[in-house]
Amino acid sequence: MSKPLVHIQDLCVRYGAKTVLQDLAWTYERGTHWAIGGESGSGKTTLARALANQIPYQGSIELNLSSDKSPSVLYVPNWYQFTNLEGDRNFYYQQRYNTHQGRDTRTVAGELAHFAEQENQALAEALPLVQALGFEQQMDSQLIELSSGEHKKLQLVKALWSNPQLLIIDEPYTGLDKASRKSLNDCIDSLAEQGTQVILLTNDTNLPQCINAFAMVQAGQLQEVASPDDFIVAKPRQSRALPEFLKAAPEATSEQIIQLTNIHVRYGDKTVLEDISWTVNRGDKWVIQGANGSGKSTLLSLINGDHPQAYGLDIRLFGNQRGSGESIWDIKQKIGLISPEMHWYFDQTATVWHTVTSGFFDSIGLYTEASFQQKKQVDELLHFFDLYTVKSELLSTLPLGKQRLALLARTVIKNPPLLVLDEPCQGLDQTQTQYFNDVVDELCQHGKTLLYVGHYESQLPKSIDHRLVLEKGKIVKPQQKHILEERV
């Protein structure tokens, strides 16, 4: 009788005084491919990193893998980390929009060639994966220019190309549009047919056909379940009263919050946005959609003041022409922003309290003393978001769902007239997404204007009443509320 692929006994992992996995046991038989779910912070990632021998642990993990095939175990983390040409990861948030800074990183083609050389892979074998994930148009793009979804594709191309014996992917669908998710599932099925064993850490139910076993991490243990419908996720939200300072209608000096006229953005020969004309009126709630790389994040960067090309374009914000004398901080004071990139680059030493308070000053980290009234508002907001008990903990140590809620609290603490939420629920499960969007709906009852990037109709705030769809940098579908009444 052949040995199981993986046999785990009495696995324990602790971070300081916190026990994450306790006496976990698991036998992973050959021929099965697993989806492992559970609440954010339950220990799924910890289990995966222990399997990949990336963290210290107690207990026994026996891997019965072939000694003549490498790599044996490949763990693919949720977020993609890249470096510049000198191996440095010390990037700042706005750097991706400064093209002279972008020359400091490789192109996608250069990164794949470098990976091929390092891993002794044939570069030609990567091309079918690049095509399958719809990544061909980004081959000449600098790494720092890529959106979060495009970074995810590059990460996945490398992982699938490596063809490991055991492939573990943490939140495989983060940042991917609907078509890319289907293509990824097809690629995983193909890899499984070639002999790779697969573990996906996800609460998603649209899985590759090869996935035939399911389990969840709960109370430090791994429990097998019949299907992903049985995964236990976050508890439904208990509604709380919105703090009084957020019930006041935010100040707005113009009925037109945003007016873009014939906007073009280019990087050298590459056109990112083409002939964009768009008006957002006070109180509008827009969803912005489009495939990965369609220009969504660039469009938002022109609005929130992070893109240097904004000063040469016909852009009016809050009734004022860009470049007519206002500073970038004047603009940011009226905008509350969340994006995957901001989350990536946020100060890893910030506590939850410092994170939320920094929203008053639009800083990545807290460098200014808050007033008594500001501190009072922070505490009120922490209670509203059920974050008060963890206010002294580092943001980076919280489950992803609570990190996003802390960043949403940071976004609204100054009660801005415009909320810009760029894929705010990326990586969250359905219950966490519903919780987040319910809060957004409550916030939007009091005069706020909303721009919300999201791929799935069923995972949008109910208050959305307009839609903008981008395709290859062009507007293809501006729509109003009656178009949005049927959600899928």
pLDDT tens digit sequence for 15-60: 888 899 999 999 999 999 999 998 877 899 999 999 999 999 999 9
* CA separation for the pair 199, 197 (Å, rounded): 7
What does the pLDDT read at residue 90? 43
Q: Is the pLDDT of residue 160 over 90?
A: yes
**Mean pLDDT value across residues 407-424:** 91
* pLDDT reported for residue 1: 57
* Segment 440-467 mean pLDDT: 88
Binned at pLDDT 50, 70 and 90, residue 435 comes out as: confident
| Distance of alpha carbon 106 from the chain centroid | 22
Check residues 195 and 333 and name the one with the higher pLDDT: 195
Q: Are 97 and 130 in contact (CB under 8 A)?
A: no
Q: How far is CA 141 from CA 155, 269, 275, 315, in A?
A: 15, 11, 21, 26
pLDDT interval class at 479 (50, 70, 90): low
- What value does the mean pLDDT take over residues 406-435? 86
Mean pLDDT on 323-344: 79
104 vs 193, higher pLDDT: 193
The structure tokens listed for 366 are: 């807290």
Q: How confident is the model at residue 104 (pLDDT cuts 50, 70, 90)?
A: low
Q: Quote the longest CA-to-CA distance of the chain.
A: 77
Percent share of the chain, pLDDT over 90:
45
Please give the average per-residue pLDDT across 354-374, as a whole number.
85
Contact status, residue 49 vs residue 55, Cβ threshold 8 Å: yes
User: Tens digits of per-residue pLDDT, 344-353?
Assistant: 777 778 999 9
d(CA 177, CA 168): 21
Higher pLDDT, 467 or 319: 467
Length of the chain: 488
Of 262, 264, 284, which is closest to residue 272 (Cα–Cα)? 264
- Nearest Cα neighbor of 458 from 478, 430, 477, 436 is 430
Position 239 scores a pLDDT of 73
| Separation CA 471–CA 297 (nearest Å) | 13
Confidence of residue 383 (pLDDT cuts 50, 70, 90): very high
Does position 139 have pLDDT exceeding 60, yes or no? yes
Q: Is the pLDDT of residue 482 over 50?
A: no
**The pLDDT value given to residue 485:** 40
What percentage of residues in the chain have a pLDDT greater than 70?
A: 88
Whether residue 288 is predicted with pLDDT greater than 50 in this model: the reply is: yes
Q: What is the pLDDT of residues 233-280, one digit of tens each?
A: 666 667 778 899 988 887 767 889 999 999 998 877 778 899 999 999
Do 296 and 462 form a contact (C-beta atoms < 8 A)? no
Supply the pLDDT for residue 484. Answer: 45
pLDDT tops 70 at residue 417: yes
Determine the pLDDT at residue 94: 45
Domains defined for the chain, CATH in brackets: 6-230 (3.40.50.300), 244-484 (3.40.50.300)
Contacts 24+ apart (CB under 8 A), 243-250: 243/377, 243/380, 243/381, 243/384, 245/377, 245/380, 245/415, 246/381, 246/412, 246/415, 246/443, 246/446, 247/446, 248/415, 248/446, 249/446, 249/447, 250/334, 250/415, 250/416, 250/417, 250/446, 250/447, 250/448
Least confident of 47-51, 157-161, 427-431: 427-431
For residue 181, give both structure tokens. 């998710």
The per-residue pLDDT for 81 is 62
Tens of pLDDT, residues 59-72? 999 999 887 766 68
The mean pLDDT value of the chain amounts to 85
User: Among 66-75, 95-104, 216-225, 299-308, which range has the highest average pLDDT?
Assistant: 216-225
Residue 388 confidence (pLDDT) above 50 = yes
